[in-house]
Amino acid sequence: MTGIQIRLAEIIEALSKALDMTEGQPEGHCIRCCYIGTHIGREIGLNEEQLRDLYYTLLLKDLGCSSNAARICELYLADDLSFKRDFKLVDGSLSQVLRFVIGHTGMQARLAERFRGILNILQNGGTFATELIQTRCQRGAEIARQMRFSESVAQGILGLDEHWNGGGKPNGIAGEELPLFSRIALLAQVIDIFHVSGGRDSALQEITKRKGEWFDPDLVETFVQISARSGFWDVLGSPDLEAIVLESEPGQQAIMADEDYLDDIAAGFAKVIDAKSPYTSGHSDRVALFSDLIAEEMGVDFDGRRLLKRAALLHDIGKLGISNSVLDKPGKLDEEEWGQMKRHSEFSEQILSTIGAFQSAAIIGGAHHERLDGKGYPRGLEAQDISMDVRIVSTADVFDALTADRPYRAAMSIETALAILREGAGTAHDPICIAALERALARTPLQQVA
């Protein structure tokens, strides 16, 4: 495994699908935006280095998107995924605002309050909206830097929600002061959203209507010219688009990711995952730590521990596709909600399995809620089908869940958590892993300060 090299674009394309999930967008949204935006960049004469930075800005534009999900649920008592998806289609007209609010609240209590709150965002740029967008943009830029992308990429993500006329968020920057990559990314985003929902005419109508307000007029005219060319829309809707975008990565040669870079990417996306809910802040990092403590105690070698660490960081990436109305519910989940929650393992495996370097992480992500007695999910695997790597991360995951605050209960002590694990030894979790965790904790300061 040491010395592996894999194309960075392949990894980022695959991980961008997780960002589509948490924005409530159809799979491939960021990839389609990349196709649209890089066409605009080429048309206006960007050089290869600029095009490469634009390419990654477009794929990663929503890096900070998970950070506002819990707040949206809290403010509007709504499903954050469908809320964010449909909110992007609202232009501020009364008829669209009414349709949006009623569609997301029905005739539930506090309908009037929610209507006024959403109208305030659309018309007056409410304080909450500014805070939500500022958190999202700043978090996205920080993660991009951690993942070794250029400052141009970070700035492009930071300015995604600013508008040409200065009416955007969070800073009200206008005109040429807006980063070019931000201008292109916002335009590409709206084109894709309206094309998917209403076709090419809807997309062209929408960007023309917002020209000079949301969008740089010159970029709108550039795209109109591009869109008139033979085959553009056909390729945009092609099932081969992902491969086309991968092969069109700008630059003289593809950027390759080595082992250290893969670690940075996993750590960066762990921050995206954990920002989804206030109750999971730091969860992925802690599961990685507890997994490593167990693995060290069991004598796993360096390369094995490295793979486990990445898998632990990414095991919950599928939670980006679960609404915070389910993730943060303070009471017991009903049958439908529990069915949604259980899908996060499936989503984790689905996302990670498309990345060659993360194959072991995909297996762990898909199986970390399986039990030795076959009563786990999603497949109901039994002991002989559950690898030791899965057992290690599963034990670490449950230990952290027990010792952290959750919507429905306060954090447990280390002693209580270990006692619960011991009760399930041999049925839920592997007794060897539990014993290794106990030994590791017994010789660390953590045991003494808890």
| pLDDT score recorded for residue 374 | 97
Is 107 within a domain? no
Q: Rounded to the nearest 5°, which phi and psi values hold at 446? A: -55, -40
Q: Answer yes or no: do 274 and 339 share one domain.
A: yes
Q: Which residue has the higher pLDDT, 306 or 101?
A: 306
Active site residue 276: no
Per-residue pLDDT for 297 more than 70? yes
Q: Answer yes or no: do 358 and 236 share one domain.
A: no
| pLDDT score recorded for residue 111 | 62
Q: Answer yes or no: do 332 and 433 share one domain.
A: yes
- The mean pLDDT of the chain is 86
| pLDDT score recorded for residue 53 | 97
Q: Answer yes or no: do 181 and 296 share one domain.
A: no
Lowest mean pLDDT among 307-321, 397-411, 430-444: 397-411
Q: Answer yes or no: do 225 and 285 share one domain.
A: no
Q: Which residue has the higher pLDDT, 137 or 361?
A: 361
Distances (CA, A) of 437 to 211, 309, 377, 412, 441: 59, 15, 23, 16, 6
Say how many CA atoms lie within 13 Å of 16 toward its Cβ. Answer: 25
| pLDDT score recorded for residue 426 | 96
- What are the pLDDT digits (tens) for 204-240? 999 999 999 999 999 999 999 999 999 999 999 999 9
Per-residue pLDDT for 162 more than 60? yes
Lowest mean pLDDT among 253-257, 287-291, 366-370, 428-432: 253-257
Q: Using an 8 Å Cβ cutoff, are 316 and 266 in contact?
A: no
Q: Using an 8 Å Cβ cutoff, are 31 and 14 in contact?
A: no
Q: Answer yes or no: do 253 and 285 share one domain.
A: no
| pLDDT score recorded for residue 447 | 47
Lowest mean pLDDT among 151-155, 255-259, 261-265: 255-259
Q: Answer yes or no: do 12 and 52 share one domain.
A: yes
Is 311 within a domain? yes
Is 361 within a domain? yes
Is 342 within a domain? yes
Tokens of 205: 């109508």
**Rounded distance between C-alpha atoms, residue 210 and residue 206, angstroms:** 6
> What's the chain look like in SS3?
CCCCCEEHHHHHHHHHHHHHHHCCCCCCHHHHHHHHHHHHHHHCCCCHHHHHHHHHHHHCCCCCHHHHHHHHHHHHCCCHHHHHHHHCCCCCCHHHHHHHHHHHHCCCCCHHHHHHHHHHHHHHCCHHHHHHHHHHHHHHHHHHHHCCCCHHHHHHHHCCCCCCCCCCCCCCCCHHHCCHHHHHHHHHHHHHHHHHHHCHHHHHHHHHHCECCCECHHHHHHHHHHHCCCCHHHHHCCCCHHHHHHHCCCCCCCCEECHHHHHHHHHHHHHHHHCCCHHHCCHHHHHHHHHHHHHHHCCCCHHHHHHHHHHHHHCCHHHHHCCHHHHCCCCCCCHHHHHHHHHHHHHHHHHHCCCHHHHHHHHHHHHCCCCCCCCCCCCCCCHHHCCHHHHHHHHHHHHHHHCCCECCECCCCHHHHHHHHHHCECCCECHHHHHHHHHHHHCCHHHHHC
Is 76 within a domain? no
Confidence label for 450 from pLDDT (cuts 50, 70 and 90): very low
Q: Which residue has the higher pLDDT, 29 or 411?
A: 29
- What are the pLDDT digits (tens) for 9-39? 999 999 999 888 887 788 899 999 999 999 9
Per-residue pLDDT for 101 more than 90? no
Name the amino acid, one letter, at 72: I
Q: What is the mean pLDDT of residues 169-179?
A: 92
Q: What is the mean pLDDT of residues 133-146?
A: 86
**Rounded distance between C-alpha atoms, residue 422 and residue 438, angstroms:** 10
Q: What is the mean pLDDT of residues 106-134?
A: 59
Lowest mean pLDDT among 24-33, 94-103, 130-139: 94-103
The CATH number for 62's domain is 1.10.3210.10
Q: Which residue has the higher pLDDT, 20 or 424?
A: 424
Q: Give the active site residue among 84, 211, 319, 329.
A: 319
**Tokens 């795209």 belong to residue:** 223
Q: Rounded to the nearest 5°, which phi and psi values hold at 409? A: -165, 160
Is 444 within a domain? yes
Q: Answer yes or no: do 242 and 292 share one domain.
A: no
Q: Answer yes or no: do 381 and 271 share one domain.
A: yes
| pLDDT score recorded for residue 356 | 86
| pLDDT score recorded for residue 242 | 94
pTM value is 0.84
**Rounded distance between C-alpha atoms, residue 335 and residue 92, angstroms:** 37
Q: What is the mean pLDDT of residues 232-251?
A: 94
Q: Which of 257, 279, 305 is the last residue of a domain?
A: 257
Distances (CA, A) of 323 to 45, 79, 131, 326, 376: 41, 6, 20, 6, 22
Q: Which of 218, 237, 257 is the last residue of a domain?
A: 257
Q: Which residue has the higher pLDDT, 446 or 211?
A: 211
Q: Answer yes or no: do 408 and 425 share one domain.
A: yes
Q: Which domain holds residue 236?
A: 6-66+131-257
Q: Answer yes or no: do 407 and 419 share one domain.
A: yes
Is 246 within a domain? yes
Per-residue pLDDT for 87 more than 80? no
Q: What is the mean pLDDT of residues 353-382?
A: 94
Per-residue pLDDT for 286 more than 90? yes
Is 123 within a domain? no
Query: What's the total number of domains in the chain?
Result: 2
Q: Answer yes or no: do 242 and 277 share one domain.
A: no
Q: Which of 210, 230, 257 is the last residue of a domain?
A: 257
